[in-house]
Amino acid sequence: MKRLNFLLLLAALIVVSGCGKRETRVEVANREQILLYGNKAEPQDLDPHVVQGVGEHQIISTLLEGLVAEDPKTLDPVPGLAERWEISPDGKVYTFHIRANAKWSNGDPVTAEDFVKSYRRILTPSLGSLYSYMLHPMKNAKAFNEGKLTDAAQLGVRAIDARTLEITLECPTAYLLNSMASHYTWWAVHMPTVEKHGDPYRPGNKWTRPETYVGNGPFILTEWVPNSVIRVRRNTNYWDSANVRLNGVDFLPIESIDSEERSFRAGQLHRTEELPNAKIDAYRKDNPDLLRIDDYLGNYFYRINVTHPALKDKRVRHALSQALDRQAIVETVTRGGQKPAFAFTPPNTAGYTSRAQLKFDIEGAKKLLADAGYPEGKGLPPIEIHYNTSENHRAIAEAIQQMWKKNLGVDATLRNEEWKVYLDTQTATNYMVSRAGWIGDYPDANAFLETFLSYSGNNRTGWANPEFDRLLQEAGCVSDVKQRTELLQQAEALLLDEMPLLPIYFYTRVYLLNPAVKNWHANYQDHHPFKYVYLEAPAK
């Protein structure tokens, strides 16, 4: 009798353990059409007028939509909340017609007045919006935003009627529609809700909680546990809800990229934000269908302090650039499919590719250095490479240090600082050469070039060139596309000739994506509008 009991118990245990694996989260989510999205960092907030991060964009784009939306493949502007628009012949007045069926999640219709109020809000200085300068192409926006103008009625935006919005610009701005489509600063918030939960013109407004969030996008905010998960679910009041196939998205702010990769492998995520460098090769070899390497609209470069006595001579700067084997860096150091950068603006940015290109020419570099008075690097003080503490930046800096030594005889030292200290140092131009990166806010060469305007806070190199400023200012006001492109080309050529920066490579986004995710297209901005994405589990 005892023996039988024992055997039964054993059998039961075997059955239970061999019962088949538990279903992974991804498998459950595929069935329920919920996308599990690794989003790297906890968002600062979900108010589009207050934040400035990329992670925030992904979440906010589920909750809000702009007048203009992005085509998921090409990123071209397509109708969003506005079903059509007209542009005046001089390119300064845009008239948007809002859909009749566009509604907020609480049922209120989306009106032109919503946009008027929203633009006034983001431009109000006391709100402290760090990204409000995106709206500066609008008439009087810059003056209002800087506190020089206090009458909001003078802003170049008005509601002609409940569903017609007119925006007047300072100058014909070629990239306006791109900017409106890809950037949340141009999206409207539900002002009555904002007004109910705090001062709409000051930081700290509490309207973004799940219980109170009102949006007009394909999803609504249902749960927000800081550092754990943010859940959004179908918004039945969204005008295009019938065509939205996903039932929701779960954003998981996993900061450690190693942890994120493990979670992906454990079937907890459809998509990771990044992939640890060391694992790229392994995935390429063993699981290429999971690996995504998409070109990204960004440049990894070194700022050069042109006011430093050793770097004043432009020939020295060119020598340093020409002695850099960028191909070697992307192949052996970063290894993430990046492309070497011989210009500042990434190639094919909305059709624009820089004519001017730098080159890799060791002999030429040596000659330039000698001409500048430092034959074989003699007499040149060691170049200090400054960067913020990170394994990757260090590896690149060390590689460059070795290249300069081997190819030019120039010594270099490394100095790294913690992030905020590093920013301080860079802003105070207290460096010789400092690592930097720039991601384009919208697909246009201007997004990159304008950072080197002499009066731009993003310049930080001490380089000031009135001709460059003039070229960009002119390009900002010209409506003819060909003319504008020519001006931008000239500006970039000038920039690359004067060389206050050392472009190194163009970014790529390297991440993991579950094959069940469909309608996910690679593009320069890494924007994947969730209303088009859907999940289709592979057939067993």
Partner 1 sequence: MTQTPSMTDATIAANTAEPGASLWHDAWLRLRKNKLAVFGGGALIVITLFCLVGPWFSPYTYEQQDFAQYAKAPSAKHWFGTDKLGRDQMTRLMHGGRISLGVGICATLVSLTIGVLYGAMAGFFGGKTDAAMMRIVDILYALPFTVFVILLMVVFGQKIVLLFVAIGAVEWLTMARIVRGQVQSLRKQEFIEAALALGLSQRRIILRHMIPNVLGPVAVYTTLTIPAVMLLEAFLSFLGLGVQPPMSSWGTMIKDGAELMEEFPWLLMIPAAFFSLTLFSLNFLGDGLRDALDVRTSKD
Partner 2 sequence: MFRFIAARLLQTIPVLFVVATMTFFMVRVMPGGPFDSERSVPPEIKRELDAYYGLDKPVFQQYLAYLGKLVRGDLGYSIKFANRSVNETIATTFPVSLQLGGMALGLALLLGITAGVMAALRPNSALDYAASGLSMMGICLPTFVLGPLLVFAFALKLQWVNASGWFDSTDIILPAITLGIVYAAYIARLTRGGMLEILSQDFIRTARAKGASEVRIIFRHALRGGLLPVISFLGPAAAGILTGSFVIEMIFQIPGLGRHFVTSVFNRDATMITGVAVFYAALIVFFNLLVDILQVWLNPKLKY
Interface ranges with partner 2 (CB under 8 A):
21-22, 25, 44-45, 50, 52, 125-133, 145-147, 198, 202-206, 208, 225-229, 252-256, 258-260, 262-263, 265-266, 268, 418-421, 423-424, 427, 436-438, 456-458, 460
Rounded to a whole number of angstroms, the minimum distance from the CB of residue 252 to partner 1 is 20
CB of 43 to partner 1, least distance (A): 22
Question: Taking a C-beta distance cutoff of 8 angstroms, is the pair 108, 150 a contact?
Answer: no
Binding string to partner 1 for residues 289 to 328, with x set by CB under 8 A, is what? ---------------------------------------x
Residue 52 binding: pick among partner 1, partner 2, none (C-beta 5-8 Å cut-off by kind): partner 2
Q: Kindly state whether residue 423 participates in binding partner 1, applying the rule CB under 8 A.
A: no
Closest distance to partner 2 from the beta carbon of 13 (Å): 15
- Per-residue burial over 24-52, b if 16 or more Cβ lie within 10 Å, else e, is ebbeebbeebbbbbbbbebbebbbbbbbe
Q: Is 259 in the site for partner 1 (CB under 8 A)?
A: no
Pick the closer one to partner 2 by CB: 228 or 327: 228
Q: Which is nearer to partner 2, 205 or 237 (CB)?
A: 205
CB of 198 to partner 2, least distance (A): 8
Q: Which is nearer to partner 2, 204 or 351 (CB)?
A: 204
- Specify the long-range contacts of residues 359-364, CB closer than 8 Å, at least 24 apart: 359/322, 360/322, 360/324, 360/325, 360/326, 360/327, 361/322, 362/322, 362/323, 362/407, 362/408, 364/322
**Whether the Cβ atoms of residue 67 and residue 184 lie closer than 8 Å to each other:** no
Task: Report d(CA 301, CA 259) in Å as an integer.
Answer: 29
Q: Which of 82, 350, 61, 85 is nearest to 182 (CA)?
A: 61
- The DSSP line for 397-434 is HHHHHHHHHHHH---EEEEEE-HHHHHHHHHTT--SEE
Q: How many residues bind partner 1 (CB under 8 A)?
A: 21
Least separation, in Å, of the C-beta of 480 and partner 2?
Answer: 30
Compute CA 203 distance to the chain's CA centroid, rounded to the nearest angstrom: 23
- For residue 455, give both structure tokens: 């009066």
Q: Which of partner 1, partner 2, none is residue 389 near (CB under 5 to 8 Å by kind)?
A: partner 1
Among 8, 14, 282, 537, binds partner 1 (CB under 8 A): 282
Indicate which of partner 1, partner 2, none lies near residue 416 (CB less than 5 to 8 Å, by partner kind).
Answer: partner 1
Tokens 């001579």 belong to residue: 313
Taking the complex as a whole, how short is the minimal distance between the CB of residue 389 and partner 1, in angstroms?
Answer: 3
Q: How far is the CB of 435 from partner 1 (least distance, A)?
A: 14
Q: Write out 269-313 in H/E/C secondary structure.
A: CCECCCCCHHHHHHHHHHCCCCEEEEEEEEEEEEEECCCCHHHCC
Nearer CB in complex with partner 1: 87/395: 395
**Shortest reach from residue 75's CB to partner 2, in Å:** 21
416 near partner 1 (CB under 8 A): yes
Is the CB of residue 253 less than 8 Å from the CB of residue 55?
Answer: yes
Query: Which residues in 366-405 contact partner 1 (CB under 8 A)?
Result: 389-391, 394-395, 398-399, 402
Binding partner selected for residue 276 from partner 1, partner 2, none, CB under the kind-specific 5 to 8 Å limit? partner 1
Q: Tell me, what DSSP letter sits at residue 332?
A: I
- Phi and psi angles of residue 433, each rounded to the nearest 5 degrees, phi first: -135, 130
| Min separation Cβ 268 and partner 1, Å | 18
Task: Give the nearer residue to partner 1 in terms of CB position, either 261 or 295.
Answer: 261
| Cα–Cα dist 421/427, whole Å | 10
Instruction: Name the packing angle between helices 362-371 and 314-322 (round to 10°).
Output: 160
One of 53, 276, 336, 337 touching partner 1 (CB under 8 A)? 276
Where helices occur in 337-475 by DSSP H, the ranges are 362-371, 391-408, 419-427, 446-449, 466-475
Q: Which residues contribute to the site for partner 1 (CB under 8 A)?
A: 258, 276-279, 282, 328, 332-333, 389-391, 394-395, 398-399, 402, 414, 416, 418, 421
